[in-house]
Every structure is written in structure tokens, then in C-alpha cells.
Amino acid sequence: MEYIKLVEVCSALESTSKRLEKTYIISEFLKKTKTEDLNEIILLLQGKVFPPWDEHKIGVASRLILKAINKAAGINITNIEKEWAKIGDLGDVAEKLIKTKKQVTLFSSSLTVKKVFNNLRKLAGLEGAGTVNRKISLIAELLTSSKPIEAKYIVRTVLEEMRVGTAAGTLRDSIVWAYFPEAGAVYKDKNIEVKDREKYNHYVDIVQSAYDMSNDFSLVANTAKSKGKKGLKEIAIKVGIPIKVMLGPKEKDAGSALKRVGTPCQAEYKYDGFRLQIHKQDSKITLFTRRLENVTKQFPEVVNYVKKNVKGKSFILDSEAVGFSPKTGEYLPFQNISQRIKRKYDIERMAKDFPVELNIFDCVYYNGKNMIKEMFGKRRAIIEKIVKQEPKNIVLAKAIIAKNEKDVDKFYKESKKAGNEGVMLKKLDAPYKPGARVGYMVKLKGELEAIDAVIIAAEWGEGKRAKWLSSFTLACIDENNSFLEIGKVGTGIKEKLEQGVSFEELTNLLKPLIISQKGKNVKVKPKIVVEVIYEEIQKSPTYSSGYALRFPRVLRLRDDRSPEDATTMDYLEDLYFEQKKK
């Protein structure tokens, strides 16, 4: 397929904020897409060339893009930087400058999707001497052969900044519309018409379930096109490919929580650590974070705990890794161990200085059997049988069977005293629902609900803070995967690293992510997630979300959260209306 056809779709998607229009545009495109192009098309629509769990990353910074544009267009880097400062989007800069490029390729041919996809994939595999120049050449080769609008989306894909609003729900529904006309969904006059809502929802559930099992829309689309409904139902969990973890909404007190999960239920400690999904196949053990990042190398001691203490030929376990003091044995806040997630060097020393205890609380696959649809009580029984507990190494999440509010309140106080965040309450007869905040489990933390916000812009400081970014624009995420502003924050951030989240740390994290700068203000890729507390949520015409946080304060970095895991606009609105009731 010619790349320009995909680019035209991306341009159409960018021109509308309406989810139904996006769904229609993608579904019509998928109908015309040949099977051999589907894998690349689905990934590129998401602005990716690798699935989220793949360890390979494109790894190209903005500065390298400037050099690629320079090589392709023959324009001085200083002039490119001026255009960047003026326009603010390197994709738009590439589009403008390719129109006026000095080097005209006499024998260039039309770019194909496969050519673009393959060149971008090669970027991740380059290493050793001369890597930078080879990366520049691969990108410049594409830009030299591209039409101006193609250059725009090539650059955005390289920078992982597509911004066309292809959220998971939109892709899912697009697959239903494209390959299951019997679902009865018709797009008419910018509205969806469904002849049989029950049948339509049935097909949506089938596609969603296939995605839950595989975490791969390329596989789902291919299967839907070639094997239909039956093929989708045959997609199964595969050890070594992570699924999204099940999430629980927050409840304000034991009474409301028990209404959601029923009695009796299981109450568990809610630890202040980070999720680890543990995969084992024969002798191979792989660890994934909630963000689907492979962190096996960063936690060699956890691999050893699992090898030594968990019986089974193959399994997928859900757990929480919690840091503790090697001197006192007391649990430590997440921030104390978060640096281990990204660490690539001095791993043995880090393991000694920042040890973790693995708290296992669920099993979604065991010895060849998918356990997702089994009742939680049965899944808990399995881990109680297969895990040999070893305190401060590997244990089961501490739990009781709670029959009433009194049981919950007592256990909650015990958990808080032990240094935890609170408790989780779990419905005993519920399945495991990947990636969803469902009422199968809820969390009780007992304080004002903090939110996970993404930093999308910042401002350089003044005086002694002139070398640091010191004011940060926060955003939540909407259904189209767009980031909407909810305010600025500068408090809760420390002068010194050892005191907590520091200005220097945030500056170092954000500088490589800067995509434009005007004066002291910079825009950054939405990559860094922070947990934020606030006094109140207010209506505000100032910010694109329509809301603002009053007196926000940064609590900590959330290295275990991806931007897509940020607090949603729907949830922020729920919090807004909930506070109005108080």
C-alpha cells in the first residue's frame, strides 16, 4: 500500500475530535486494507512500530530529527530551529521545509507503508559506532522520498507524537464496523445507527475480549478479517505477552465499598509499591510492569524468588513489589524504589540498597489453563497452594474474609499501621477483567483522592531556579487519547533530590522530551506522570479540560504509569461532582 493513503487517513482523523467520525474513517480504511498490510497499518495508526510490550524502542530525540531534516532538505539547522520555535511541532516543520527542499531526488519513488515501517523499525536495532549517523540516514532517506504531508507523519511517528486520537475503544469499534456488518452498525449523518443494540454489543464484547487476551490490535484485526467471530474467540492468553492488569475504582468508606463487592468478600492490604506481572514458561521467567515494560533484568532477585518458591510449569501471576528498609524491615513509599524500574546499571547494588518484597495476589493463567473467567476465590486458592512464602522475599498479599463494615474498618487500620495505603476489597465470585476499573474490586485509601496527571508543558524558572524547569502544566486524558489541561503545579517539588521529587530530576526527565520552546515556555511529549493532590476541583474556562485543580501539589513521580494510565476526564468529572455532594 502507498504510504500516502495512510497519511490521508491520519490527516482526516486529526481534523475531527468526534469519536464516531474517527471510528467511521478507520473502519472504511480497514475494509480496503489487504491482509498483508494490516499489521503495519494498525500499529502505525497508533503511532507505533512495535507492540507496547516489545523491548525495542525507536529512541530518537528531537535534536536528531533536526539533523535528518537538514540532510533531506538541505536547510541550515539554525533555520530549522527558528521554524521549530515559530511553529512548535516538528512534524509541521518537516512538512513546510520539505516543500521547499533544495535537494531534489531525481529517481525517488512513492513511499510504501512497508518501506516506512521497516526503516523505522531498523532505528531500534542500531547500536555501536556510527549509530547516530545511520539513524539520521534512515530517517532522511524517507524524508527525501516523501511528499510534504508524508514527512509530517513520518516525523511524528519517529517521535511517537501522532496525536490523531486513535484510542483503544475507537480501534475496537472500527474493527467491529469493518469486519462484522451483521452487527448492524451504520454511520449516517454523523451518527451511529444500530439496528439491534444487543447484537452490536455482543460483537463489541467479542472483539474486546480478544484484545484483552492478546493486547494486540494487529492480531485482533487480522483475525477478525480472516477468521471472523470464531477466530476471535480462539485468541488466548500467551505466556510472555503481558495483559493489562485489572484496576479497581475508589470508594469513600467501607459501607459503599461493600455495596459494590458484596459480603463476604476478601480484604487485602493495599501496598504502596508497583504492579509486577510474572510470566513463567518452563524455566524462563519474565517480569512486566503495569506499563507492560519488561523489567526482568532490573529485578534478578525477584526472578530467583519465583524460581525457588512458586510451583508450576507455566503461569501468569499478578503481584505488587513493595520496597522495604534493609535496616528496619519497614515498608517504604513507592518513590523510594521507583528508580529501580528504569535502572540498567549497578543492578546488584540497587537490589541490595533498595530491596523489594513480592506480594502475590492473583493468578490469571496456570499450567496451560486460562484462569481469567474463574472466580476470584478459586484463583486465590491456587496461589495459596503453589506459593511457598518467605517473608521479605515472596509472600501472599495479606488478606482476610470480611463479612461486615466492622471487619473492614479493623483490617484497614491494621494495614495503615503497617505502612500501607489502605485496603482492597474483592468480590469472591468475580472473574479477572484486564485493564478495566470494574466493581469486582475496589480500593479504600481513606483520604482525598489523588490523581495521576501528565506533564505536557513547563516553564523555566528564575533566579536560583533559572537552570531548572519550575512550573509544570498538567493534563488528564480523554476518550480520544488527547491530553487536556487541568492546571499548573510548582509546589510539592523539592530543591534537593534526597528530599523527594526535585526540580532537577523533573528537568532532567523533561529536557529530552521538549518539542518546542517560546521564551521560557516549553511544550513536552506527554510521557511523565506525576501523582497530584489538590484542595478542590473547580470549573475553569482557562484550561482545555474545562476544569482546574485548586492548590495542586506533587506527591511523587509515577514511573509505573504510562500516559495512557493517567486519570481520565470522565473520572475527573466524577470527582468534581462527588465533592459537590459533600
| C-alpha cell belonging to residue 100 | 521547499
- Spatial strand order in the sheet of 441-444: 399-402, 265-270, 422-427, 441-444
> Chain centroid to CA 282: how far?
29
Between CA 514 and CA 116 the distance in angstroms is 24
CB 108 within 8 A of CB 40: no
3-class SS of residue 540: coil
Give the Å distances, CA to CA, from 66 to 34, 81, 169, 354, 467: 34, 8, 34, 40, 24
CA-based torsion, 12, 13, 18, 20: positive or negative? positive
SS3 of 444-458: the string is ECCCCCCEEEEEEEE
Helices (H), 235-313: 254-261, 300-309
Q: How far apart are CA 147 and CA 532, in angstroms?
A: 43
Catalytic pick among 270, 426, 443, 525: 270
SS3 309: helix
**Does 270 participate in catalysis according to the annotation?**
yes
CA 218/CA 567 separation, integer angstroms: 26
**Given CA atoms 225, 231, 293, 450 in this order, what sign does their dihedral have?**
positive
Per 3-state DSSP, the chain is made up of helix, strand and coil in percentages (nearest 5) of 45, 25, 35
Angle CA 158–122–527, to nearest 5:
35
Cis peptide before 264 (omega within 30 of 0): yes
- The Cα–Cα gap between 63 and 68 comes to 9
Whether the Cβ atoms of residue 8 and residue 164 lie closer than 8 Å to each other:
no
Q: Active-site residues: which are they?
A: 270
